[in-house]
């Protein structure tokens, strides 16, 4: 079985996430490696960064479901259920346990082929992850660019320099993608602004009605309408 994995804090999930994962789906098929399914895995607690305004695991699971509820995508609660820091090597271990096929008579194992998707920032941060070598044994890492500040060539050079053996062994894949530059941090700041709160100092006095409308209009271009409605209804990030 060939499984794509898209892990993230998804606080909240935005259209940049949808863009990269839909491209991943298409490009893997075009490369002759069609994926049987793609697991979208929100972290419980991201292992690598402080997460201000972290919405609950349940809220983030729900928002991922609202954004990617069709087709080959399946939102998985594996990390939210496990709790604690969501280390990727642990998740890959669990996924192999779940999806590797064992021949009942001989006990022979056919490991699931796992492809872990990430944006450029995450690939460049890989040496700081826990057990990157183990991760590269258990999954092939597939990456692309988030903005024109980085190129696929730079990503290849980085992987070749830091993980030469794994690079030669084909444990990295890359694809070209038209960037959709947005971040969850930017989205949370806009949600605050749309609610009349100045993100930088938390003050509610200085945001004009006009600025609030502009922030709301910008949000409509960055979020799935169902995710935006959910955030506003639940008053997340305010």
Tokens for 176?
A: 């070209």
Please, what is the minimum distance in Å from the beta carbon of residue 210 to ligand DND? 27
Q: How far apart are CA 155 and CA 141, in angstroms?
A: 12
Q: Give 144 or 207: the residue with its C-beta nearer to ligand DND.
A: 144
Helix spans in the chain (H): 15-30, 57-67, 78-82, 88-99, 120-124, 132-138, 152-162, 164-168, 184-194, 209-222, 225-234
CB of 101 or CB of 220, closer to ligand DND: 220
Q: Least distance to ligand DND from the beta carbon of 119, Å?
A: 2
Binding residues (CB under 6 A) for ligand DND: these are: 7-10, 16-17, 20, 43, 46-48, 86-88, 118-119, 121-122, 129-130, 146, 180-184
Nearest to 122 by CA among 8, 36, 41, 237: 8
The string of DSSP letters for 36-89 reads: SEEEEEE-SB-TTS--TTPPPHHHHHHHHHHHS-STTEEE--HHHHH-SB--HH
Rounded CA separation 114/127 (Å): 20
Q: Please report how close the Cβ of residue 214 comes to ligand DND at its closest, in angstroms.
A: 20
Q: In the bound complex, what is the minimum distance in angstroms from residue 154's beta carbon to ligand DND?
A: 15
CB neighbourhood size of 101 (10 A) = 11
Q: Which is nearer to ligand DND, 154 or 211 (CB)?
A: 154
The rounded distance, in Å, linking the Cα atoms of 71 and 40 is 12
Show the tokens assigned to 27.
């490009």
By beta-carbon proximity to ligand DND, the closer residue of 84 and 181 is 181
Cβ proximity to ligand DND, 134 vs 212, nearer residue: 134
Minimum separation from the CB atom of position 9 to ligand DND (A): 4
Give the shortest CB-21-to-ligand DND separation in angstroms: 8
Nearer to ligand DND, 64 or 207 (CB): 64
């Amino acid at each position: 079985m060939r499984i794509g994995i898209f892990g993230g804090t998804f606080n909240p999930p935005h259209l940049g996430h949808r863009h990269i994962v839909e491209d991943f789906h298409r490009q893997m098929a075009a490369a002759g490696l069609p994926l049987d399914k793609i697991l979208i895995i929100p972290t419980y607690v991201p292992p690598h960064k402080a997460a201000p305004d972290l919405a609950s695991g349940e809220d983030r699971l729900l928002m991922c479901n609202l954004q990617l509820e069709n087709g080959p995508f399946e939102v998985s609660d594996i990390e939210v259920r496990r709790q604690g820091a969501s280390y990727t090597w642990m998740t890959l271990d669990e996924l192999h346990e779940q999806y590797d096929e064992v021949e009942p008579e001989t006990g022979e194992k056919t490991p699931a082929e796992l492809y872990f998707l990430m944006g450029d920032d995450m690939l460049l941060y890989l040496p700081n992850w826990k057990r990157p070598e183990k991760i590269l044994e258990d999954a092939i890492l597939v990456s692309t660019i988030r903005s024109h500040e980085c190129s696929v060539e730079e990503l290849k050079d980085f992987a070749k320099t830091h993980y030469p053996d794994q690079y030669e062994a084909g444990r990295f894949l890359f694809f070209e993608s038209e960037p959709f530059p947005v971040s969850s941090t930017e989205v949370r700041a806009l949600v605050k602004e749309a609610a009349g709160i100045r993100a930088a100092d938390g003050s509610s006095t200085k945001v004009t009605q006009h600025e609030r409308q502009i922030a709301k209009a910008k949000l409509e271009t960055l979020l799935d309408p169902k995710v935006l409605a959910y955030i506003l209804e639940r008053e997340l990030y305010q």
